[in-house]
Structure 1
Amino acid sequence: MKIRSLIAGSCLLAATGAQAQQLSSTSPYLYAQPEFYVGLNYALVQFDFENDFIGESADWNSVGINLGYQPSPYLALEARYGRGVGDDTHFDGLVETELKHYFGVYALPQIPIQDFMSVYGVLGWTKAKAEASAPIIREKVSDSEDDFSYGIGMRFKDKRHTGGVGFFVEYSRLIDKSDFDIDSLMLGLSWHF
């Protein structure tokens, strides 16, 4: 009798433990463990003057790299560096503008939605350098600006397992000054390990 009770109790404990493990491994709010990640991104960057009198804005392309650490399902810390690709022309080709580079550090508070998706915010600091040139008079002017950055994004990745590849899309206001803004629409891939 004692042996049967012992066997039945052991089976019950094993079944309960297996069920608990199955539930925790499929919970959309749990990660297997903290992760590091590296990502590549492409961004459409727009420089807008607040003064409507000028009537011009610059549209630039950039490619960059993201380095991040995610200590919990609700927060990631990230550093980014990007370089401008190509330039934009203004005033019927008299002026050319180009994003030289940008870099920044960010906190990404996030809310897991499902096992494969999370919505996140972007809070941090960005420094960007741009250049304007007038080919006719062979004159170039460059300037750097930095500011508080904020935005929102979505990341798609199976969060039940460490490692793997994620995809993200994000809109951010990188620099918000009284006379101009710099916004970014970014798409990218991230490799988690």
Structure 2
Amino acid sequence: MQTPMYMNKILMIILKANNWLLSPLRGWDGLSAASRLQVRPKAGRYVYYSFASWLPINLKIISTYKENTMYKSVAYAALGLACLSSNVTLAEQNYAGGSIAFIDYAEEGISDDASLTMIAGRLGTKFNEHLSGEIRIGLGIGDDSVDVFGTDVDIELDTMFGAYVRGGIQAADSFYPYVVLGYTRGKVTASVPGFSTSESESDVSFGIGADVDINDKLTFNAEYMNYLDKDGVEVDGFSLGIVTKF
């Protein structure tokens, strides 16, 4: 049966419209465009079926389109499952711990350094094998006296808190060395009989450390940190602690 001339022109218009409708499928909006084609009977894929009885061309295009749509759907589903799996894994890599730190406080113009002690807690998440982030809060316990021009001045560490990022490698089954970078704010009080003054300061912090696994849940931690080095004041120290995973 020969197709009328006006019908050929109509078909050319339909095919051009169909190509326009399918063009988004080549980009990021493919899934959205595919869903629109499925719910809009006027879309080109239904036009193909309407004329398939007398226009056998494009059947291969329809089949290929359906296969590509199926593959994309499977790919999106696999990506979603991977994201869910990743979230579950991250939830199992949260950790919390406590430590005791031996802090050295040095200030320009003072010959003596103050040896201070701090207990600290930490809460963090290991994002992947090499990167983790955490927050820490520390409280000073006890004080130390330094000689300032013949006068004994008591130095006390009040608080110290900050946020940090750790990057490391699993060097052995139970040994994880790392470097740490973050930002710390600390408060120190200096006092003499009848008078005291407090100062707060913030600075970029950095250090190195290592985790040693005791078992699947507990980890021993050792670390050196330079907390503050600003305006003639340097605060650094070494800490030992225990971390539990949950």
**What band does the TM-score fall into relative to the shorter chain?**
0.7 to 0.9
Pair 1:60-2:113 in alignment? no
Name the aligned partner's letter for residue 175 of structure 1: L
Q: Deviations over 1:118-173 (max 9, x none)?
A: 111110000000000001xx101000000000000010126xx8x50000100010
Pair 1:191-2:244 in alignment? yes
What is the CA RMSD across the aligned residues, in angstroms?
1.7
**Dislocated runs of 4+, deviation >6 Å:** none
More helix by percentage: 2
Pair 1:47-2:100 in alignment? no
Give the structure 2 partner of residue 9 of structure 1: none
SS in 1 for 2:169: strand
Name the aligned partner's letter for residue 168 of structure 1: N
Distance 2:157 2:151 in 1: 17
Name the aligned partner's letter for residue 81 of structure 1: I
Please, what TM-score do these two structures have when normalized by structure 1?
A: 0.76
Please, what TM-score do these two structures have when normalized by structure 2?
A: 0.60
Unaligned runs of 5+ in 2: 1-87
Distance apart, 1:33 and its partner CA: 3.7
Unaligned runs of 5+ in 1: 1-31
Larger radius of gyration: 2
Mark the CA change 1:133 to 1:192 in structure 2 (over 3 Å): closer, same or farther.
same
Give the structure 2 partner of residue 79 of structure 1: 135
Mark the CA change 1:166 to 1:79 in structure 2 (over 3 Å): closer, same or farther.
same
Distance 1:41 1:103 in 2: 13
Give the structure 2 partner of residue 7 of structure 1: none
Higher relative contact order (CA 8 A, sep 6+): 1
Distance apart, 1:54 and its partner CA: 2.3
Distance 2:89 2:212 in 1: 17
**Aligned positions, number:** 155
SS in 1 for 2:110: coil
Distance apart, 1:93 and its partner CA: 6.7
Pair 1:107-2:165 in alignment? yes
